Amino acid sequence: MIWVWIAFAPILGGLAYGGERVLRARMQRRQGPPLLQPFYDMFKLLDKRTLIVHSPHALLAVAHFFILWFSIVAIFMGWNLLYIIFLHLFAQILLILAGYSVRSVYSHIGANRELLMLIAYEPILLLVAVGFYLESGSFEISEILQKGGYLTSMPLLFAALAMVIPIKVKKSPFDVGEAHQEIVGGVEIEYSGIFYEFLYMSRFLEYIFIYSFVFLFGGVSSWVGTVLVAGTFLAVNLVDNATARVKTADMLKIIYSIAMMLCIVNIAGIL
Amino acid sequence: MKFFSAFRKKSPWVLHYNAGSCNGCDIEILAALGPKFDLERFGVINTGNPKQSDIFLVTGPVTYRSRERLVELYSQIPEPKVVVAVGSCTTTGGVFRGMYNVEDGIDRYIPVDVYVPGCAASPQLIIDALVKGLDVLEAKSKEIEHPFKLFGTIEMIGNKLSRLNMAKKVEQHEKN
Amino acid sequence: MEMVLTLFLLPVVASLFLVLSPNVRVQYVLSGAVLALLSITAFSLYNSPNILTFHFPQTLNTFVVAADIVLLLFFLYQGKKYDSPKVIILAIVQLVLFLYIEHASPGHSAQVVIDGLTKFTMEYSPSSTNSAEIVVDELSKFMFLIINIVGGIIVLYSVRYMEDEPVSPLKKQLFIGALLVFLSVMNLIVCANSLMLFFFLFEMTTLASYVLIAFRNDETSRANALKALWMNQIGGVVILLGALIAIKGFETVMLDTLMQRSGGWVLLSIALLAMAALVKGASIPFEGWLLGAMVAPTPVSAMLHSATMVKIAPYLILRLAPVIGSTAVGGMISIIGSLVFVAASYLALSRSVFKEILGYSTVALLGLMMALAAIGTKESIMLAMALMLFHALSKALLFLSAGVLERVHHAKNIEEMKGMVSRSPKTVGFIIFGFMSLTLPPFGLFMGKMFAIASVASLLHERPLLLIVVLSLIVGSALLVLLYFKVASALLASSSDVLPSQATPLPLGFGIPLWLLAFLTVGMAGGYIMMQQKMSVMVLALPLIFVILLPVIVRSMNGYDRSQPYHCGEKESFDSALVYYKPSHYMQQAMYWSFGILFISVAIFGALS
């Protein structure tokens, strides 16, 4: 059963992405694309001629996708939270190296921002993991899910996590990494056809990745977890529609001054 | 493959290029993309990146300074692709026709599939043209399409097809 | 027994031969043989279980004292010659302290005891009844492993490196010889048990830094060498103060005896030694000397200022860890270390000289090692040792690669290295590999950091103050990722692969040491993963294996069109600028002052508890 979930993780993420586009459209009082739009895009990308700059650049996107998928596997299998975060880091670094490996200004700026986003959210994710460890006595997801009541003991960590979700799913106010009208997609820029498809699908996986952290706060009751995920999903999209993009440096300042402080206060409270 | 070509119609991604337009048509294109006319219901995304685009929306009469970029952008769009010329200037040169610094429409440089009249072209017409372009897109093959002018070379270098020099750079003496 | 003597004497003998042989091929063979012999010896010593002890004969002790006085007088002379009041004052302070301690110390005239095999007549002094000047224990053996393998490889590399140095052949030979002698000094210092011997060797490493930094003998080299000298002399002064307290209070200069005592000023004495470690480890505010040391030839930077000599700092803390582990001094050191980890990673973001960036990251990681060592639990000590080994390997690899870029492509600044991958693909490959081995799974250094987070987090309930260490670990690691991959951004940018290649081959003399280090990094990381009790750690290796296999799986990429990168339709290519983050002057000053206060507070905590 679990392997079915793992195999269909990109599809699940794709549905989340499609649903999000519909939701966002409805928030702006328009019809929006169909729910299955991400899959239409995927099939279309398969049908395009593919332009690449050089082969390492193209292959790094493939590697990025599969390693991201592997970190999702680790989540579903209930492995160590630290491993999961660092597998994700590995995947992200490959993407950044890909962005740097071409002689393209937008790609470089995108990779720079991707790097800064990485150092903004990664400490928060790790601190959330430490929080789970202090509460449940283990970094293993399977053991974290045996207990409950995380939301009452670490509400500030949850708030900090909610602050970094927009970075990960590239939503306003922290969508600097993609910033389509500004840097034309950042690291994605030199990809086309089948290789862009891999990046497009890894965006679906990012949804699964970050929202499964939210799900963990539900603990033993998967019902609470689902409600939390749905609520956060709505809130993130509402914020996305209601705010403008902040500058990269401001993003770092906001995360390090507010989210980090929330984490520290909460962890100090647990101790 | 036949199965996949059916989806070309469902997700046309757009690259918008202003080849010296007065910005009238650009405003209309943005209006068409915005919430009121909601082009996104057709699956349209304004990517701003030729490498991920299917439909090339061009506005403006193609000024001397912009032709090189026009052809370069065109050659960076992977096939199958469709060019939509938006507005009178883009189709014929419009009010600028015959001026010393314009090229009287983009079809001197690249093959155009759909022409949109109007100064400025209305959002409704742009949507119609896009939908028309989708039929063209579905029927197209994946063969490389060449620009007409400023067309450089497509070479095979060690079994690899290089489109690096597909669009030629305008030489200095040609400008004067 | 013979093995330890091999480690002490072989480098000296080899360096004599090396200085006498002007033929480059002979130098290669000699340094290769030394590397092989030393690493085999160190490895077999590491696998032998027993602890070896040596007593020094009186003559040797007298020799050490005499040599020390000569050394201090030499520093005094250098200070006078180059008109540096700091060096002069510190040298005088050291001389006075040293003579006073020698005067006050109980007469130790122990005879040689060599492993119980050869026995001479012995005349023990009361203080050294059961402790010898030299004790080779587990930690020393581990240090031998690092010093001899990494150091040996660097010596091998320096043969090729010195070929292009614009100096006389004799000076080249002397340079390589000096590196070899330095290996002996390092081998000695990690098993010195007598504080006076330790002081002597500490000063010897200071001398080595000083002489080798000034090797190129231009104005900056000289200034930086003097800076390194006076900062390290502070370390010497605090060691002497520590020894003074040990002698006055406990009538011993033996470290192991001192560590068994309790009460009185013992903790102050230990704290002073730990402060010497902070100086040698170039913790902020002393990081200036290590940064300045980067003007030296690259093998020097690799050997002294990254892979081996500065490892004295975490080594010393590890030595003292059983005593300071749960005290305020240990807490102070781990806080300083972890703050240095963050601050140095941040300061590195403002630098553009490649070796300086590496230097700062060395300072940062040394801080982390000291922090972990000072926590003093069994697990954290193991982690600090693992970090030391993997850091030595990775940093040596990075420094040697930087040396290749400097020699073959004349690029020192990362601004000059833009697009280096198309000119020197292998070297850049090694650099990227080095960066990955410092930050990503499944490499040892990453593993160490990850286990450290887990291990320190498990101590949080009992020692809440360690939250600072956890936070610094997390933030500092993130900053280091930013730092390394920012540098990678300059190296990697390359044009389409259908354009003609401009690569220049990597000379074999550079290639072999680099490959050796890379293999060792991978092999040791594999061994480290195998050592873990949990087999699930192995899954962290899968991504890397996948990335390596991917080009094999996807055989040909010929079916895809090559195109120009997107430049908004322009035909010209552009290069993007690198980003730097610089703290304001005010903030930097504030940082230095607060680190200075923290540094002094180590002694205060030692005195109070």
The DSSP code sequence of A10-38 is HHHHHHHHHHHHHHHHHHTTS----TTHH
Which chain A residue shows the shortest CA-CA distance from B2?
A47
Please return the burial class of C11, using the count of CB atoms within 10 Å of its CB with bins 0-12, 13-18 and 19+: buried
Question: How close, in Å, is residue A64 to chain B by CA atoms?
Answer: 19
* pLDDT value, residue C112: 36
Ordered by start, the domain boundaries in chain B are 2-146
Instruction: Give the C-alpha separation, A167 to A114, whole Å.
Output: 9
pLDDT tens for each residue of C329-372: 888 888 888 999 999 988 888 888 888 888 888 999 899 888 88
* pLDDT value, residue A232: 92
* pLDDT value, residue A124: 92
Structural domain ending residue among the three candidates C193, C209, C236: C193
Which chain B residue shows the shortest CA-CA distance from A30?
B35
What residues in chain C have their Cβ under 8 A from chain B's Cβ atoms? Answer: 496-499, 556-558, 561-564, 566, 568-571
With beta carbons less than 8 A apart as the criterion, state whether A40 and B7 touch.
Answer: yes
Task: List chains adjacent to chain A, taking adjacency as at least 3 C-beta pairs closer than 8 Å.
Answer: B, C
Q: Residue for token digits 């080095």?
A: C434
* pLDDT value, residue C122: 38
Is A41 in CB contact (< 8 Å) with chain B?
A: yes
pLDDT band of residue C114 (cuts 50, 70, 90) is very low
Name the residue facing B51 among C566, C569, C571 (closest C-beta).
Answer: C566
Q: ω before B120 within 30° of 0 (cis)?
A: yes
Bigger pLDDT: C100 vs B175: C100
Report if residue C549 sits inside a domain.
yes
Please return the burial class of C255, using the count of CB atoms within 10 Å of its CB with bins 0-12, 13-18 and 19+: buried
Name the residue facing A190 among B7, B41, B51 (closest C-beta).
Answer: B51
With beta carbons less than 8 A apart as the criterion, state whether C566 and A184 touch.
Answer: yes
Q: Do B10 and A51 touch (CB under 8 A)?
A: no
Which alpha helices (DSSP H) does C251-310 contain, by range? 255-260, 266-280, 287-292, 298-302
With beta carbons less than 8 A apart as the criterion, state whether C469 and C371 touch.
Answer: yes
Our measurement of the distance from residue A53's CA atom to the centroid of its chain's CA atoms, rounded to an integer in Å, reads: 27
Total domains present in chain C: 2
The domain in which residue C157 lies consists of 1-51+123-193
Q: Give the gyration radius of chain B's Cα atoms.
A: 16
Name the residue facing A54 among C419, C481, C496 (closest C-beta).
Answer: C496
Report if residue C107 sits inside a domain.
no
> Is the model's pLDDT at B176 over the cut of 50?
no
Q: Do B52 and A185 touch (CB under 8 A)?
A: yes
Instruction: Give the C-alpha separation, C581 to C10, whole Å.
Output: 46
Which alpha helices (DSSP H) does B19-142 contain, by range? 24-33, 64-76, 88-92, 123-139
pLDDT tens for each residue of C399-431: 988 888 888 888 888 888 887 888 888 888 899
With beta carbons less than 8 A apart as the criterion, state whether C107 and C125 touch.
Answer: yes
Question: How close, in Å, is residue A190 to chain C by CA atoms?
Answer: 6
For chain C, give the mean pLDDT: 82
Strand residues in A155-195 grouped as ranges (E): none
Show Cβ contacts of residue C339 under 8 Å, excluding neighbours closer than 6 positions: C367, C468, C472, C595, C598
Q: Do A103 and C495 touch (CB under 8 A)?
A: yes
- Chain C residue numbers with beta carbons less than 8 Å from the beta carbon of B74 are none
Q: What is the pTM of this model?
A: 0.88
Bigger pLDDT: C74 vs B4: C74
The CATH number of B2-146 is 3.40.50.12280
pLDDT tens for each residue of A53-103: 888 888 888 889 989 988 888 888 888 888 888 889 889 999 998 988 888
Instruction: Give the C-alpha separation, C485 to A187, whole Å.
Output: 14
> Is the model's pLDDT at A245 over the cut of 80?
yes
Neighbours of A204 (CB within 10 A): 26
B174 membership: H or E segment, kind and range: helix B172-175
Specify the 3-state DSSP secondary structure of C248. Answer: helix
Question: How close, in Å, is residue B76 to chain A by CA atoms?
Answer: 8
The first and second tokens of residue B113, run together, are 């599939």
pLDDT tens for each residue of B57-104: 999 888 888 888 888 889 888 888 899 999 888 888 888 888 888 888
Please return the burial class of B107, using the count of CB atoms within 10 Å of its CB with bins 0-12, 13-18 and 19+: middle
Residues C552-560, mean pLDDT to the nearest whole number: 79
C562 membership: H or E segment, kind and range: strand C561-562
With beta carbons less than 8 A apart as the criterion, state whether A13 and A26 touch.
Answer: no
The first and second tokens of residue C339, run together, are 């703050």
Rounded to 10 deg, the angle between the C444-459 and A105-136 helix axes is: 40
Which chain B residue shows the shortest CA-CA distance from C558?
B160
Q: SS in 3 state form for C433-499?
A: HHHHHHHCCCCHHHHHHHHHHHHHHHHCCCCHHHHHHHHHHHHHHHHHHHHHHHHHHHHHCECCCCC
Structural domain ending residue among the three candidates C193, C224, C255: C193
Task: List chains adjacent to chain B, taking adjacency as at least 3 C-beta pairs closer than 8 Å.
Answer: A, C
C404 membership: H or E segment, kind and range: helix C378-409
Q: How many contacts (CB atoms, under 8 Å) link A and C?
A: 174
Q: Is the ipTM of this complex over 0.95?
A: no
Q: Which amino acid is at C577?
A: A
Neighbours of C3 (CB within 10 A): 17
pLDDT tens for each residue of C264-294: 677 888 888 888 888 888 888 888 888 888 8
Q: Residue for token digits 């900062």?
A: C231
pLDDT tens for each residue of C436-494: 888 888 888 888 888 888 888 888 888 888 888 888 988 998 898 888 888 888 888 88
Q: ω before C500 within 30° of 0 (cis)?
A: no
HSE (CB half, 13 Å, CA atoms) of C362? 38
Instruction: Give the C-alpha separation, C467 to C454, whole Å.
Output: 12
Name the residue facing C562 among B17, B160, B167 (closest C-beta).
Answer: B160
Q: Which amino acid is at C43?
A: F
* pLDDT value, residue C70: 85
Residues C166-186, mean pLDDT to the nearest whole number: 83
pLDDT band of residue C105 (cuts 50, 70, 90) is low
Report if residue C313 sits inside a domain.
no
* pLDDT value, residue C21: 77
Q: Do B164 and C571 touch (CB under 8 A)?
A: no
